[in-house]
Homo-oligomer: A and B are copies of this chain.
Amino acid sequence: MFKRPSLGFWFDFSSPYSYLSAMRIEAVAADRGLDLTWNPFLLSPILGKQGYRASPYVVVPDKGRYMRADMMRQCEIAGLSFRLPDPFPQNPIPAGRVALAARKEPWIGRFVRSVFHAEFAEGRDITDQGLLTDLLQQAGADPALWLARAETMDIKIGLRVAVTEAEHLGIFGAPSFITPDGELFWGNDRLDEALDWSLRITH
């Protein structure tokens, strides 16, 4: 059976720039005939090894201030709302586990977008089980089933394994894109280049 080439989308639910990519990646990949693999992971253990004890946006206040101004502008260009959640950054683990459990479901894109929208357009707390329940329901999934799957040992360990896998791919930030031949592209600003690269090497 013919398998279409697949672009890996590595995202962290606490990452503002992952929001920018998440909202458009399924549509732009489909436009170009590329399949997508959804790879939730956690950036903080990788940043921890780089010496960060907390988010760079918190540790370096100028970087945090700039991110807010830049995100406002990038969201405006993209036609998206932007509201930073409080607290920022949010804990990405509960939603990340659900996304990992459901990564091959047909509704995964809808669910991931709805989490990022709640977090960065509405400023909501994405660790709230009530919110995750609502978002799963809106995606057409069974909330009780998927929230239970998200808390299995397989998935808990799986999200940690995803971090190790990300490190092996050379990932050091989010969002990151891995082309079918293993090339890394970092940041929402490089999504289009990652798509172009994927098409060039597969045609």
A interface residue numbers (CB < 8 A to B):
50-52, 56, 59-60, 62-63, 65-66, 69-70, 73, 167, 170-173, 183-186, 189-190, 193
A58 to chain B, nearest CB (A): 12
Are A172 and B69 in contact (CB-based, < 8 A)?
no
Q: Which residues of B contact A51 (CB under 8 A)?
A: 51-52, 59
Q: Which residues of B contact A193 (CB under 8 A)?
A: 73
Instruction: Please tell me how many copies of the chain the complex holds.
Output: 2
Within 8 Å by CB of A172, from B50, B60, B186, lies B60
CA A63 – CA B66 in complex, angstroms? 21
Q: A51-B52, A65-B170 are in contact. List 16 more A-B contacts (CB 8 A).
A: A50-B56, A51-B51, A51-B59, A60-B172, A62-B167, A62-B171, A62-B172, A63-B172, A63-B173, A66-B172, A66-B184, A69-B183, A69-B184, A70-B185, A70-B186, A189-B189
A62 to chain B, nearest CB (A): 4
Closest to A190 in B: B70
A59 to chain B, nearest CB (A): 7
A61 to chain B, nearest CB (A): 9
A-B contact list, 25 entries, CB within 8 Å: A50-B56, A50-B59, A50-B60, A51-B51, A51-B52, A51-B59, A60-B172, A62-B167, A62-B170, A62-B171, A62-B172, A63-B172, A63-B173, A65-B170, A66-B170, A66-B172, A66-B184, A66-B186, A69-B183, A69-B184, A70-B185, A70-B186, A70-B190, A73-B193, A189-B189
Q: Which residues of B contact A170 (CB under 8 A)?
A: 62, 65-66
CA A185 – CA B172 in complex, angstroms? 22
Q: Which residues of B contact A65 (CB under 8 A)?
A: 170
Q: Which residues of B contact A59 (CB under 8 A)?
A: 50-51
Ordered nearest first, which 9 A-B pairs have the shortest CB separation? A62-B172, A62-B170, A189-B189, A50-B60, A63-B172, A51-B51, A60-B172, A66-B186, A66-B184
